[in-house]
Structure 1
Amino acid sequence: MYHRSSIQMVLSSSFTAVAVTGMIFLGLTLFLRFSHATNAQMAESSRRVLSQVNLNMDRYLRDMMRISDTVYYKVIKDTDLAEASLDDALELLWESSREGVVSIAVFSGDGELIAAAPLQELKNSVTPERESWFAAAEERIENLHFSTPHVQDLFEDPDYRYRWVVSLSRQVELTRAGNIQSGVLLVDMSFGGIEQICKDVDLGHSQGYLYLTDRSGEIIYHPRQQLIYAGLLEENNLTAAGYTDGTHTEKFQGQTRQVTVKTVGYTGWKLVAVVPSTTLWDNYGQIILFFLFVVLFSVYLLIFVNLRLSGWITAPVKKLDRAVKALEAGEQVADFDVGGPYEVEHLSHSIESMVSTMRHLMDDIIQQEKQKRRSELDVLQAQINPHFLYNTLDSVVWMTENGRTEDAVVMLTSLARFFRISLSRGSSVIPIADELEHARHYLTIQKMRYKNKFSADIQAEDGVEQLYTIKLVIQPVLENAIYHGMTYADGDGEIHVRAFRDGCDVVIEVTDNGPGMPEDVVERLLDPAGPAVPGAKGSGIGFRNVHRRIQLTFGPAYGLTILSEPDAGTAVRIRIPALDREAAERYRKEGER
């Protein structure tokens, strides 16, 4: 069923995949644009909130600075401490701003209390000149100093109240009997005012919050300040203190957060608004659900429409496919009248015509390949050393002229039998026994020509001689063994021919005790594109001829293997399939057609 509808499925799935991919791409693009816009909107919202908080904080700090300026420029500057006291003026100023101010105090340069309101008695354990706000005021002579939140514990309070304050300190000049002395003015602001400004901030997100740090990152206000002081919670305040004003994305304790920073004027404090990424994703939930619903519904609709449409288009194509499969199954006649659109009908007629043409062409090609293979084998066969005949006849003439008639008769007899087997009544496949006999006659002739300079023997394993091979595969190997081995052999040369079974194959091995060959020469001998072997008769043509004829006949798994090393002799193995009479007849008919 799948194969019959494969074209339909391809069309349906392709159309659906393209459409769904386009929808997903469009949806993701819109989603990313929306998320980017949402992030930008949230960042802008956080910036607006921080701007408003900054205005409120700025107003509150200006009020405190205004009180400090009033005490300094309208009270301290106009009072000579040798003639008048500052207590009444400080008490009056404190009464008018008691909602935001916890206390006002003036100290001399050595830490002596000059005046204070509303409390006027320092604790015995307090040393003002050692307090951080006192030292900071003396270091910043021209500027005001705002401290971090701390408990106000300078004065003896009959009510035993301890209030959280932020100290505003500054260096002042005190006049005593006309002399100018250095002093410090301290205004303790109620931390509740700062806390009230910050804690009522609504960032528009349930998990978002705002906190305040000084310029070094120490927390001034945090909605979970007590937990942070107790070590139960951590905040990334030190890193946030280094941020520039604007929106940043940070990862803290495995959570991605959107952090917006605003610097408070005069103080260097930083307002930090934090919105966790979980809050951002909460806003995307409904959009994602709606997007998934639209995609799933669209996919269902597209699949339904595409299946119907592709089914209507592919029905004639499937019918044509069945006709082609019928031809593949071996049927001689197939119905190519598929109907359908003009293009499909035209295609069916073209295929029908093409099938007819291909059948004729295949028959022609088969015949041409057989003829080509036969011609190539004939050419290779014709290359088998024709000068051997001339050299042998020259030797017969020489023997006759020198009265060696019997030797001449033996050589001519061997030559006649040699060529009788070579011809083999025109057959290219002969019994291995004939091929070995052919080799014996060749060795007889060559031993007489070389005056018995070498000895030779031929052995065959039982049953091997009844098998078949293509002819003239041993003689060229023997020729190379004589020319390249025996000519240069030290002492008596030896040539051994052995035929044996190796599994489903037959191996005919020719070994000699000649000088051997280096590895590079061995590699060139069977390389059809390699150069001729220099300084040697035959130059390796006989090896290549035999190797090529065997592979043309039986395939690349068969052929020659040469094993040789300098001063170690040479062994040539001829590997052919083990062919009985029936198998040999098939090869003979193929080669002679």
Structure 2
Amino acid sequence: MGITAGHGPLPLSQERGPGQRKERRGRVTSILKRFTSRWAQRYQKMSIQMVISLSFTTVAVVGMIFMGLSLFWRFSSATGELVAENSQRVLAQVNLNLDSYLRSMMRVSDTMYYRVIKSADLGRDSLTAPMELLYEDDRDSLVSIALFDLRGGLVSAVPLSTLKQPADLTQTGWFLSALQKKENLHFSTPHVQDLFEDPDYHYQWVVSLSRYVQLTRDGATEGGVLLVDMGFAGIEQVCRNVELPNGGYLYLIDGSGELIYHPRQQLIYSGLQEENNQAAARYRDGTHSEEFQGQRRQVTVKTVGYTGWKLVGVVPVEGGFVSDSRQIFLFGLSLLLFSIFLMAFLNFRISAHISDPIRRLEQSIKELEAGREDVEIEEGGCYEVQRLGHSIRSMVSTMRHLMDDIIEQEGQKRRSELEVLQSQINPHFLYNTLDSVIWMTEAGRYEEAIQMVTSLARLFRISLSRGKSIIPLADELEHARHYMNIQQIRYKNKFTTQINALPGTDGLYTMKLIVQPILENAIYHGMASAEDDGLITVTARREGEDLVIDVADNGLGMRPEVAASLLDEDRPEIRTSGSGIGVRNVHRRIRLTFGDRYGLTIFSEPDEGTTVRIRLPALDQDGAAQYQREDVP
């Protein structure tokens, strides 16, 4: 009854199980279809940021999953090999260090035997001095060097030379090993060096190297034993800092399995722990698998040359290693290559679909930056790219209209500024000149009056210049001569004027009405208080690609800092009773037309006079045509 009741529900449960699983699979499939359909619909309306983010994220996640799985399986199969290879590399490095340590002992022994003992006769030679030199060379690692005869008697030793009493050396292991195999070098296991009396009671753990040697005494040959003791701390230091995977460790044994070094040596000697060192002594070099005290371990063995000692590396194995590494490796490699191909293909297709419209739009912008005006801005791609293309097209069109308007406005502004600057002729100059003509006529000075009226007419004719702002240099100098003729008559020849154009200036053009304001400034500020020896000179010359006009006077002059401030835009304008076109006005006109490289420079010293240098580009007829103002209404 109990058995029937206990097993009765199982058939019902087993019958309902497959139906429930089929129903769950149907629900999952339906959910996946709805999810896929929704994302397919949303993709058409997604922003470019969302498309790129989701696409590349999905591809990266899928790729990482594939690569993670392949690496997991590959790692599972290769863990044992990697651990073994790593242990072998570590043991090989430790073996090199031990080999270097042991070679240093052998070098000391060989040097002592072949260079000292063989060349000495004990009947007349002392070995103490060469032994001390040899000891001093390696005192950091050496503990002692000693030479004994076959009866165990001490022949020579350093640094200590007094044997303990009683000391029967002929029964020690290192002594017997040296006598039994006379052709070999013999390394002992670590032991306390207690052969010699130490006044400081300082005894060290050492490794002894012994060998049979032939001694010469009074010409006769006899046998002996050479003992070299080196500190065990060197071996301990080499082995102590070794790290193996999974909490592994390294220990050192001799050929019979006796422990030489173990990180838990004290615990093993006290019986608190055990080590499988006797079995390890029988292992050949390489990696072995063993089970010790219920734990699976990977044991790597490496024999140390010259000694028969063995380095043993122990690494605990957690879980089993995958055995069929070749098949798993091929599978992992195939999976990795397929994942890389799939990711590369999908990324290429998706990125091309998304980025091509942006790339074409970028190319159009670059062409616009290069100065092309007939660039067609494409409006394609995702919604944002389409809007961006449309905005750029509208912006380019607006910018073109604005640039045209700005160019037109700047041209009009420049022409207006030049007109204003050139039209600043004070009517007071005209009034004074006509008043002088009337006065001379009434005084019967008809020739001077005629000369002044003639010069005034020519002055205004050149000033008009048919609306042109750039005139021949000869006309500008002629204008200056007529102006100075008028002023000399008015000032009753208180000063003289010299106007010269040096060779090389023929055919050059200049901006009009730039010399006369400088002359006016020289008259009112340089010649006003002068006597009858005033002199104003105008000299035009060519310097390379520039035209230079110097207007110099020998008037009162001024301090250099005052002269430099005359062109300062922040300095208030100084009005005169002349034409009203100031020096700063001329400077602004020149720079506005030709640029900041050109303009005026003023040189002056008190009581020595003033020179105003006008610098312009050396323009020929073709160059002047670019600056003509015939288009001014």
* TM-score computed with the length of structure 1 as normaliser: 0.50
* TM-score computed with the length of structure 2 as normaliser: 0.47
